[in-house]
Structure 1
Amino acid sequence: MEENQHVTSDQLLNENEYSLERSLRPQTLADYLGQGKIKKELAIYIEAARLREEALDHVLLYGPPGLGKTTMAMVIANEMDADIRTTSGPAIEKPGDLVALLNDLEPGGILFIDEIHRMPRIAEEMLYSAMEDFYVDIIIGQGDTAHPVHFPLPPFTLIGATTRAGSLSAPLRDRFGILAHMEYYHKDELKDIVLRSASVLQTDINTKGAYEIARRSRGTPRIANRLLKRVRDYAEVKGEGVVTEPIAALALDLLRVDHEGLDIVDQKFLSTLIKLYNGGPVGLNTLSANIGEEVDTIEDMVEPYLLQEGFIQRTSRGRMATAKAYEHLELAHLMTD
């Protein structure tokens, strides 16, 4: 007897959202906008591996969050015409989890581990032989019956992604043959990404509207796509459905994202640094307690862009606000010699 399958509206909505998110991701290096240096190098390495009919060397993608590391991993898999299995460092709780993932790979397959710096050390150590010689040694049984088993693996490619390359141990980092530093995007690159995403979302937008979103997106495609969706909503309700520069500016002002891309957390971070601590230096733990954000969140999500754009400096004594931060918040009168 056949069972009736009932799909709820929530399930359908989730599937549509997932499908939509996937459609925003480029599928090939040619479609991938930005990261020109990395793409140029990867194109050579991928072509060489295909000519030799070998698995691509292991790849480490590192840089701030939201720059397209996961997307790049998917693009590499597509270019290599390889199956890809995805996981994250925290999801690998014990060596057996890693063995199951590796065992599931076909020859030439790709294992993508996001947040690889958060993988347990015991699982990381198992990766050494897997990456270098394509085998793992596992212990079968317990007590007197325990014995090692040499478990061969097919040639595969490990792609690791991390926001903290410095947190990786040297033995693991050294086993990656291809190191790719993902950098913040230029405003023109983000404008093109916004225009492409708007086309996928069937959103009417002009070039100036796309640029207004791009310049407030902190150099990050993920943020650009998120802001585009909210500006689209604003345009449909408050405008005529067209994302223009004035509509984008009004929507983003409503979201409290300023013309430099700083959001409420960034502004609070700088304001606290200046008003409570005379611009610093002040320790990160102190700032974290003051603004109510976790230290990891500040280090991964807030500081990289503020450092990149010259709003703060890191010193041995703590964080310091620059003259640009005072001027941006219109607090120049509080500057001290």
Structure 2
Amino acid sequence: MSAVDPVPQSEAELAFEGALRPKSLTDFVGQAGVRKQLEVLLKAAAMQNRTPDHILLAGPPGLGKTTLAMIVAEESGRPLRMSSGPAIQHAGDLAAVLSSLTPGEILFIDEIHRMARSAEEMLYLAMEDFRIDIMVGKGAGATSIPLDLAPFTLVGATTRSGLLPNPLRDRFGFTANLEFYAVDELERVLLRAATLLGLDVRPPALREIASRSRGTPRIANRLLRRVRDWALVHDGTADHAAVQAALELYDVDESGLDRLDRAVLDAIMDRFDGGPVGLSTLAASVGEEQDTIASVVEPFLVRMGLVSRTPRGRVATSAAWRRAGKRPPVAGAPALFDESA
């Protein structure tokens, strides 16, 4: 093998990353209701020769918001401009982006709820009237100069739609709330990815990966690649036994819980007698940032019915104690089964 071989291999891997994303609504797996709604919206806009209405995509990470934005641009036959909320920290940042858009261009802003407030206020007028006002000068001598914009479609993505101000949310013509995927839908996602990888995976193995993927295609594809790596290193096939061995190696259990999930559960049950425990204390006890616990770990544990959020803090549920094969401490029992919490 020559010294230059790793370069094309890296390019091939990058090409695979892009190939995983479906290019049309027909190829997009899951979110059936959202797909039908988007299809009508885009076809109606094309028939009327106008730009599609502004679109808000809301839902947990990894469900396909960025992919859907790319599909909107592809099926509209329009160019796509991509940005993110954290990158727009001043009204001037947004003005620079908006003023450079071409007619009909699709502007995708990921994590739109993290935009600066001044940029949000500028966006109100831009979305409604395709115009922005630029302030020149300061104090009493400041002058507002109106700047007309080319018609565009804003596609915003957010994992926390509750943080969006109402005036901004109301300016979106269509809001799609993405849901977690069923196991059979994830199997179809994995089958497509396995075909692109040239990996022969049997249905029982695909179902095993899908059942541990937390209802999220991004996680399913990531686990599939870890199974591929395990099979490659051990010179075997990606059968059911290989899937179990690979996911055991990477600390993903039968329910999809990983090392950090189990660490949080163990901390609540063992160190804090089942709770309640505050977020900052819990994060410090497992050595993770509060944002990671709140946005990545906690939603899944709550959805699985293993943790309950109460006004006094996080509490391990009876299902968590049964799963661990433990009995809750007497002192913690009232909090666990208090229906008013």
Q: TM-score range by the shorter chain?
A: over 0.9
1:166 lines up with 2:162 in the alignment: yes
Which of 227, 244, 249 is the equivalent residue of 1:254?
249
Q: Is 1:304–2:282 an aligned residue pair?
A: no
What is the deviation of 1:145? Answer: 7.0
Q: Distance in 2 between matches of 1:334 and 1:188?
A: 39
Question: 1:171 deviation in Å?
Answer: 1.4
Deviations, residues 84-134 of structure 1 (Å, cap 9, x unaligned)? 100111111322221222122222211100111111111111101001111
| Deviation at residue 332 of structure 1 after TM alignment | 3.8
Give the corresponding residue for 1:111: 107
**Post-superposition shift, 1:287?**
0.8
2:227 is the counterpart of 1:228 = no
Give 1:238's match in structure 2, choosing from 214, 226, 234. Answer: 234
1:110/1:189 CA distance change after superposition, 3 Å: same
**Cα deviation per residue 1:308-332 (whole Å; 9 max; x = unaligned)?**
2211111212111112212223334
**What is the distance in 2 between the residues matched to 1:28 and 1:151?**
35
Unaligned runs of 5+ in 1: 1-7
Amino acid at match of 1:52: Q
TM-score, normalization by structure 2: 0.91
Distance, in Å, in 2 between the alignment partners of 1:35 and 1:56 is 20
Distance 1:61 1:329 in 2: 37
Identify which of 96, 101, 105 aligns with 1:100: 96
1-side partners of 2:261 and 2:290: how far apart?
A: 14
Give the aligned partner of residue 189 of structure 1: 185
Q: Which amino acid aligns with 1:263?
A: D
In the alignment, structure 2 segments of 5+ residues that lack a partner are 334-341
Which amino acid in the other structure matches residue 302 of structure 1? Answer: V
The 5-angstrom pairing of residues 2-13 of structure 1 reads: 12=8
Q: What CA distance in whole angstroms lies between the structure 1 residues aligned with 2:92 and 2:132?
A: 11
Instruction: Name the SS of the counterpart of 1:49 in structure 2.
Output: helix
In the TM superposition, what whole-angstrom CA distance separates every residue of 1:212-268 from its partner, at most 9, and x where no partner exists? 11111111111111111111010112242x211111011001111000000001101
Identity in percent: 49
Q: Distance in 2 between matches of 1:197 and 1:99?
A: 39
CA distance in 2, matches of 1:152, 1:145: 23
Per the TM alignment, residue 158 of structure 1 is displaced from its structure 2 partner at its CA by 0.7
Q: 1:290 aligns with which of 285, 288, 293?
A: 285
**Alignment partners' CA distance in 2, 1:88 and 1:9:** 35
The secondary structure found in structure 1 opposite 2:133 is strand
Distance 1:233 1:319, change over 3 A: same
Of residues 208, 213, 230, the one that matches 2:209 is: 213
**14-23 or 143-152: which moved more?**
143-152
Query: 2:131, 2:149 within 8 Å by CA — same for their partners in 1?
Result: yes
CA distance in 2, matches of 1:186, 1:136: 43
The two structures, once aligned, show a CA RMSD in angstroms of 1.9
Aligned to 1:49: 45
Q: Secondary structure at the residue paired with 1:161?
A: strand
Distance in structure 2 (CA, Å) of the matches to 1:113 and 1:155:
16
Q: Secondary structure at the match of 1:64?
A: coil
Aligned partners of 2:274 and 2:328 also within 8 Å: no
Q: Residue 124 of structure 1 aligns with which residue? A: 120
- The TM-score, its normalising length taken from structure 1, stands at 0.92
Amino acid at match of 2:196: V
State whether residues 117 and 165 of structure 1, in contact with CA within 8 Å, keep that contact through their aligned partners in structure 2.
Answer: yes
Q: Which moved more, 1:259-268 or 1:43-52?
A: 43-52
Q: For the residues of structure 2 that align with 1:16 and 1:98, how far apart are their CA atoms? A: 35
2:267 paired with 1:272: yes
* CA pair 143-14 structure 1, distance change in 2 beyond 3 A: farther
- Which of 149, 165, 171 is the aligned partner of 1:175? 171
1:37 to 19, 33, 39: 33
The letter for the 2-side match of 1:190 is L
- Alpha-carbon displacement from aligned partner over 1:29-63 (angstroms, at most 9, x marks no partner): 11000111111111111111111111111111111
Q: What is the distance in 2 between the residues matched to 1:234 and 1:200?
A: 18
The offset of 1:9, in angstroms, is: 6.8
**Is the 1:24–1:200 contact (alpha carbons within 8 Å) kept by the matching residues of 2?**
yes
